[in-house]
Amino acid sequence: MTSKSASRGSVVPKEPPEAAEPPPARDVASLYRSEGPRLLRFFRRRTANAEDARDLMQESFSRLLGGGTGRDVGQPEAYLTRIGQNLLRDRARFAARRSAALHVPADDAVLTGMDQFRLLETRDLLDRLNLAMLELAEETREVFMAHRVEGLTYVEIAERTGLTVKQVEKRIARAMLDLSDLLGPR
């Protein structure tokens, strides 16, 4: 076989493309110096503490360098920002899953340590308060309930009942004194 036929018919196999090697150390160091503070500020604005921000910044650079993209990154600044956004999104998803797993519906919650004596005292106080409220004059009771239970202002109560604001104030003060006397010392 002559060299002429060998060059015509045979194809020299190409070597497989190699994965992009990490950038030289001086390029990484300059990128870290130039983009590290910006990325740290980015994370500090979006995280609860500075330590988390530093960890996320380190993780971003780590993913940039060890990401195995197989290509040279044209805009490492933008790529770092995208990595940072993805890290924050992953953290938020993890936190949401974790809090959902820890959630206990109120209907399923078991109240432990219920002090039966305290429960009886509370029921007794409510019964006494109910009886004391029935002892109040009807208009005084209505004004007092409108203010304390419904949360109406003195002006709103005055408009509703046709009383003056001063009369509403006096009725509420009277109700407080009467209830205090009726309930007595504990």
Q: Does residue 57 sit within a domain?
A: yes
Q: Which of 102, 131, 160 finishes a domain?
A: 102
pLDDT at position 24 is 54
Single-letter code of the amino acid located at 84: G
Is there a single domain that holds both residue 68 and residue 135? Answer: no
Q: Are residues 56 and 125 in the same domain?
A: no
H or E segment to which residue 68 belongs? none
Residue 10 — very low, low, confident or very high, per pLDDT cuts 50/70/90? low
Q: What pLDDT, on the 0 to 100 scale, is given for residue 11?
A: 52
CB 131 within 8 A of CB 162: no
Residue 25 and residue 70 share a domain: yes
Counted domains in the chain = 2
Same domain? 121 vs 70: no
Please report which helix (H) or strand (E) contains residue 94, including its range: helix 76-102
- Residues spanned by the domain of 65: 21-102
Residue 113 DSSP SS3: coil
Confidence of residue 111 (pLDDT cuts 50, 70, 90): low
- The CA radius of gyration of the chain, in Å to the nearest whole number, is 38
Distance CA 133, CA 136 (A): 5
Which of 102, 136, 152 represents a domain boundary (last residue)? 102
